[in-house]
Amino acid sequence: MPLRDTSADHAATDRTFQVDLRGLVDLLSHHLYSSPRVYLRELLQNAVDALTARHAVEPHGNFGIRLYADGKVVRVEDDGVGLTEADVHTFLATIGRSSKRADRIAEQRADFIGQFGIGLLSCFLVADEIHVLSRSARTPDAPAVEWRGRGDGSYTVRTLPASARPRPGTTVTLTPRSDAGEWTRPQQVHALARHFGSLLRHQVSFDDGSGGPGTPVNPEPAPWARSFPTPGARSRALAAYGEEVFGFTPLDTIELDLPAVGLKGIACVLPEAVPAGRRHGHRVHVKGMLLSEQAEEILPEWAFFVRCVVDAESLRPTASRESLYEDATLAAVRDALAERLREWIARAAASDPDLLGRFLQTHHLAVKSLAVHDDEILRMLLPWLPFETTDGHTTLDEFARTHRTVLVTSSVEEFRQVAAIASAAGLGVVNGGYTYDRELVHRMPEIRPEVSVADLDPATLTAHLDPVDRETELAAAPYLAQARDALAVFDCDVALRTFQPASAPALLVDSREARHERTRSRLAREQEGGLWGDILGALRQEAPRAQLILNQLNPLVRTAVAIDEPELARTSAEALYGQAVMLSRRPLRPAESSLINRSFLDLLAHALRKDS
């Protein structure tokens, strides 16, 4: 229902908001704002917008914002454009109407941060009464206007002589509730002002009522907005700022500058590895005012090795002004920032291999996960990524210079089984058992067409092991038969070959897939006749066997194959199998653990009997 305007007679008139104020404040506190502390941000936003409007009227004026908190009141005073009595009725009587939507300044909408009506309401999160005293700079000799709003939904408006506020501008005074001391103590008000307003372009000062001079809230511009004598000095200042904001020393800082949207800032490369896919919140300021510390949406998901602090002109806040509105502008900004990060990686690869090496050493898993899905990153970084190989930990680029055919295992245990023997045989094998590694190695020919990549299988390895001569094979046949019988329980065959290094007595060639196939076949045999047995039987094929390859060049093996005592021969074969299993570093099955213990004790007992 329309309000009766009686403010011209200077008499205080009770009026009522055109909303359920208590319900609206509950909505703000529980569903819109994350914390009551946003009241100070909203007051600062209103003050900044008022100064922006004042500068449109007086471009060369020197205007500022002053905060005051003494434990009894919180006051925010600005030298902005101020409000007329008509403005007060328009913007404070109907909650949610914004002075920035008024026709007379609609063309300047992009210059403003917030909305005066809703922003002022946030103060009811910490106070039961809000007092506004304002004087317009648009009208010479304009009277002062006082607006006093209360938590019960009522308010009063009256005009006062111009002397009530000698200078144009607005003063908002809060009388905090007793339960709001956490957010309205002087130290907290100062901390919140620094938190939200450290990058504001207008002068902001704070006074705690102690009688001393006001303390600057934003004493200097952001480091990217300042000039430095040398590039090195600039780089150090940016790194120091990143450490101050995030609490860690960046591995490097990447300066961000997107003139099209008025965005400037830095990306700080994390000095420690993070789990792949974990996204960090970034600090986003809009026109100097802190919008969010957890703005994940400013960067793509793959950029989890950096944290950013940026200040932008054209990004659009959500209604709560605590996150960014997902629109075409934000999508374009995200793509542009992603390109800046790619450019940094490319520059490091081209001109600073030491920096790139430290970056990849720290974030190689993160980069590998990115390279799997990002072809550009794959082409850029795959040759530089470290992998575990038979030549040690090295990059694929370095490894491919020595090995034109690259073999890759499907598991860590397979690599550990064959690494020493493959290296001695001159085979180039990469451990593909770690996350992303096998998939990435198989994409190496896309970057280096002259390199071929294949999975390593037992046949490839055994083909590089030299057979023993016929006479030696016949002499060892009885021992090999006893060894096969002893290890049949493990579905393991036994063969005699020669290979380097001679210090390796045996090689166990077995794969996880082969073990799974043997387990399935065993289950089928145990379930023969049942429904489950029929299903497994339909899938049954000749189960691949493990193979224990004894090294004829090893002195211990040459002694073992000459053993003519059946029990000792079986025990020695079990011991060689147990040692080969432990070298593979795969988890031991209970039967294998028992075998290793039994063979050790039997050999010890045999040695003691022999000595006695």
- Distances in whole angstroms, Cα of residue 4 to Cα of each of 1, 14, 21, 35, 143: 10, 10, 20, 36, 20
pLDDT at 232: 93
Helices and strands in the chain, H and E counts: 21, 23
User: Using 50, 70 and 90 to split pLDDT, how confident is the model at 106?
Assistant: very low
pLDDT beyond 70 at 53:
yes
User: Using 50, 70 and 90 to split pLDDT, how confident is the model at 389?
Assistant: very high
Task: Please give the residue that has the higher pLDDT: either 366 or 263.
Answer: 263
Spatial separation of the C-alpha atoms in residues 423 and 438, rounded to whole Å: 19
Q: What is the mean pLDDT of the chain?
A: 83
Biggest CA pair distance of the chain: 125
pLDDT at 230: 95
User: What integer is the mean pLDDT of 354-361?
Assistant: 90
User: What integer is the mean pLDDT of 453-468?
Assistant: 82
pLDDT beyond 50 at 297:
yes
pLDDT at 520: 58
pLDDT beyond 80 at 2:
no
Spatial separation of the C-alpha atoms in residues 175 and 193, rounded to whole Å: 18
Task: Please give the residue that has the higher pLDDT: either 25 or 598.
Answer: 598
Q: How many CB atoms neighbour CB 604 within 10 A? A: 10
pLDDT at 27: 58
pLDDT at 1: 28
Closest CA to 377 of 402, 353, 360: 360
User: What integer is the mean pLDDT of 397-401?
Assistant: 89
pLDDT at 174: 95
User: What integer is the mean pLDDT of 72-88?
Assistant: 91
pLDDT at 116: 42
pLDDT beyond 60 at 585:
yes
pLDDT beyond 50 at 98:
no
pLDDT beyond 70 at 16:
no
Q: Rounded to the nearest 5°, which phi and psi values hold at 330?
A: -65, -40
User: Using 50, 70 and 90 to split pLDDT, how confident is the model at 534?
Assistant: low
Tell me the per-residue pLDDT of 338-357, one tens digit each, with 9 for 90 and over.
999 989 988 888 889 899 88
User: Using 50, 70 and 90 to split pLDDT, how confident is the model at 216?
Assistant: very high
Spatial separation of the C-alpha atoms in residues 76 and 205, rounded to whole Å: 10
**Phi-psi bin for 490: left (phi > 0), alpha (psi -120 to 50), beta?**
alpha
Beta strand 492-498 pairing with 546-551: parallel
What is the dihedral angle through the alpha carbons of 90, 92, 96, 102, rounded to the nearest 10 degrees? Answer: 30
pLDDT at 523: 55
pLDDT at 66: 96
pLDDT at 550: 94
Spatial separation of the C-alpha atoms in residues 601 and 127, rounded to whole Å: 81
Spatial separation of the C-alpha atoms in residues 238 and 278, rounded to whole Å: 25
Give the tokens for residue 170: 């607005």
pLDDT at 235: 95
Amino acid at 401: R
User: What integer is the mean pLDDT of 167-186?
Assistant: 92
Tell me the per-residue pLDDT of 153-175, one tens digit each, with 9 for 90 and over.
788 899 999 888 889 999 999 99
User: What integer is the mean pLDDT of 291-303?
Assistant: 87
User: What integer is the mean pLDDT of 208-235?
Assistant: 90
User: What integer is the mean pLDDT of 258-277?
Assistant: 88
Highest mean pLDDT among 210-214, 321-325, 436-440 belongs to 436-440
pLDDT beyond 70 at 7:
no
User: What integer is the mean pLDDT of 196-224?
Assistant: 90
Tell me the per-residue pLDDT of 119-141, one tens digit each, with 9 for 90 and over.
777 888 899 899 999 999 988 88
Highest mean pLDDT among 255-269, 313-327, 502-516 belongs to 255-269
| DSSP code for 178 | G
pLDDT at 533: 55
- pTM, whole model, 2 decimals? 0.69
Buried b (16+ CB within 10 A) or exposed e, 253-285: bbebebeeeebbbbbbbbeeeeebeeebebbbb
